[in-house]
Amino acid sequence: MAIFEKTIRSQNFDTLLHRLERDIVDGSWSAELEASSDFKEGSARCSVRVFERYSMVGGNRLSLTLTLFQNADSPIRLSAITAGGSQAVFFKVNTLGEETFLDAVKELLEERL
């Protein structure tokens, strides 16, 4: 499992979310948006997206869970967590695919912000 968190300022929540959805899927020949969920309570909102892609390195599929949270006009909090890249039964080995998937998200954010 690999985790990346970032505070994002001066960005529109919806624009950022839609760009990430599009660019994550377009950035890999096997990436797909598997599920999504959106919550709003007062001026706070939270969007969760789960992506999945095939990892050539691990020979398996892995997931990326992307969460965006914002309260009113405060900065957007982003959390990206990858999982599923291990091939072992009792301990994790070969987590390179997870890191690679997460690195793609980091690069997208660097290009966009």
pLDDT of residue 87: 63
What is the predicted pLDDT for the residue at 59? 72
β-sheet with 44-55: strand ranges across: 2-8, 76-83, 60-71, 44-55, 32-41
pLDDT number for residue 99: 82
- The answer to whether residues 79 and 64 touch, using CB atoms and an 8 Å cutoff, is no
**Phi, psi for residue 2 in degrees, rounded to 5:** -125, 140
Q: Report the pLDDT value the prediction gives residue 71, as an integer from 0 to 100.
A: 98
> Which one has a higher pLDDT value, 74 or 104?
74
* Position with higher pLDDT, 108 vs 78: 78
The pTM score is 0.87
**Strand duo 44-55 + 60-71: pairing:** antiparallel
Give per-residue pLDDT as tens, 81-101.
998 866 666 555 556 778 888
Burial of 80 (C-beta count, 10 Å sphere; 0-12/13-18/19+): buried
Task: Sketch the domain layout of the chain as residue ranges.
Answer: 2-112
Q: What is the pLDDT of residues 33-92, one digit of tens each?
A: 999 999 999 999 999 999 999 877 667 788 999 999 999 999 999 999 998 866 666 555
- Residue 113: the pLDDT is 62
Exposed/middle/buried for residue 30 (C-beta within 10 Å: 0-12, 13-18, 19+): exposed
In the structure, what pLDDT confidence band is assigned to residue 2 with cuts at 50, 70 and 90? confident
CATH H superfamily, domain 2-112:
Kinase associated domain 1, KA1 (3.30.310.80)
**Six-digit token pair at 33?**
């948006």
